[in-house]
Amino acid sequence: MVDVTGPIADLASITEDSPYAYVIGSTVYYGQGEGSFQVRVTASDATAGLERAEYPATVSAGGVYTQAFGGAYQFAHTYTFTSSSTEEGAYQVAVYDRAGNDAGVPFTVTRDYVAPVAGVSVPAKVPTDTFTVTWSATDDASGVAAYDVQVKVDDGAWTAWLTATTATEAVYSGELGHLYTFRVRATDHVSNTGPWAEASTVVAQVTKYYTFGGRRVALRRGDVVYYLYAD
């Protein structure tokens, strides 16, 4: 019997063990560090039987793995990368049966050296001492993993408010008559951290008022009169 049918082969998984690597489906992203990832392929051939799988060179050397018994099998190969690795592209694991027929299993390796770009927003003026701060970031490769948010009161020093948070908004409690400036930076899934978004920072003046005759009236404390809050 002539066997002209290729093996059945599929990507079983891609796994990684480094904060500088991240997997989405059949794509593995890697960043500016060291680590490894493993590509597993399941295959079977009901006619001639499996013979071998050939893994291509990517960030490191490929490999050839044979299947002595010819039945269903799972092949695996581990790739390693360093901070100086630059290889990326679309690759394919070639699986062969004993009759020379082959099947390809595609996967993609992407070098992600670009950090996320973040921004932060707060109301310009708020009528209460609690207000919502929102932030976001864009990342075209491995995606945003977490944010660091800092706050500065008046002309004081920056202090950490939220660290490595996945939230994109939070409620902040301030005090009357102070300026609150916020800044944010984002880290992606392969540990690229962007700059602080100081250019996007908005200053909020926390004020209070009371209602008199159906109108919001400025609050006086001693010789200081805080502005009338306009609807």
> What is the three-class DSSP state of 217?
strand
Contact 79, 130 (CB under 8 A): no
Between the two ends of the chain, the Cα-to-Cα distance in Å is: 85
Q: Which domains does the chain have, with CATH numbers?
A: 8-111 (2.60.40.10), 117-225 (2.60.40.10)
CA angle, corner 85, sides to 82 and 91, nearest 5? Answer: 115
**What pLDDT score does 201 carry?**
47
The per-residue pLDDT for 18 is: 96
**What confidence tens digit (pLDDT) does each residue in 177-193 have?**
788 899 999 999 999 99
Distance CA 231, CA 226 (A): 16
**Could you read off the pLDDT of 98-134 as tens digits, one per residue?**
889 999 999 999 999 999 999 998 887 777 778 899 9
Q: Point out the least confidently predicted range of 40-54, 86-100, 112-126, 196-210.
A: 196-210
